[in-house]
Amino acid sequence: MDKKENVEGINTKIASGFENIEKGLAEAKTVARLFEILFAGIEKEFEVPFVWLTLTNTVTAAPIIEAIKSSDVLKDRLNVIKPESFSEIFSSGLKPVLVNKNLNVYYKLLPANRKYFVKSMALVPFKVNKEIVGSWNNGDSRQNRYTPDMQTNLLQKLAQSLSLRLNELV
């Protein structure tokens, strides 16, 4: 097998993982279940060791925050921050942010009750009713798991699906 075939095979597997997660999201009947499915899918399909949620302290995000707090699976994997702090990190809007250096600025996204040993992160913003309300975040102890030069199209597509489902459920 040559290098091109190997890369194509890896890309096909990654795309398939995202499709599997997206199908699962369609089955969620509640906001909490939607995020439980998302987190379990990310962990299973991509072996991501740390997945958590950051939401903004806004009226739009309030019902999502309450739903997450009601889930035994998710309540310790949530951090709520000021919209201004969130906007500083996601100045490019809905584009996912991949980082593996100078992580201190991103630590404000981590849940207070749970500390993760991360050396790289994929931070994926999503919206409800046209307002960016939060991000789901993937972290890894390997520094090169997420690097700024990686493509984020599939993460962004999954975030769009998540946003659509949130609009239906909230």
pLDDT for 93: 82
pLDDT at 3 over 80: no
- 138-151 b/e with 16+ CB inside 10 Å = b? bbbeeeebbeeeee
Checking if the pLDDT of 161 tops 90, the result is yes
From the CB of residue 74, how many other CB atoms can be counted at a distance below 10 Å? Answer: 22
Domains, the chain, in order of start with CATH, read 3-169 (3.30.450.40)
pLDDT digits (tens, 9 = 90+) for 24-49: 999 999 999 999 999 999 999 999 99
pLDDT tens digits, one per residue of 56-77: 999 999 999 999 999 999 999 9
Place of tokens 């999502």: 64
Closest CA to 112 of 68, 86, 73, 78: 78
73-100 pLDDT, tens digit each: 999 999 999 999 999 999 888 899 999 9
Query: Taking the model in full, what pTM does it have?
Result: 0.90
